[in-house]
Structure 1
């Protein structure tokens, strides 16, 4: 398993991403994260708040 970069405030990153109007790649490049990292974090949120989970 890959270790996660320390010090990344994912709540802040995802908040910025929600209002970003460019591409995912552009956002990730500007914030020094990989596309995989943001996709993974977004999928965790979708899973946590899905109706099946409740």
Structure 2
């Protein structure tokens, strides 16, 4: 059984939303977008990005 989970980095999320990477970082800090730190990089699950887009 394989579980496919798509992750986006901050730059990818910024491009999708049409904002700067710094703005995405602020959204994460403010709890608007759920993200997790993997290594030393923030990653956003596709599912969490979709949730943000639905409530926006």
**TM-score for both structures, normalised by structure 1:** 0.36
Compare CA radii of gyration and give the structure with the larger one: 1
Higher strand fraction (1 or 2): 2
**TM-score for both structures, normalised by structure 2:** 0.35
If asked which structure has higher relative contact order (CA below 8 Å, sep 6+), I would say 2
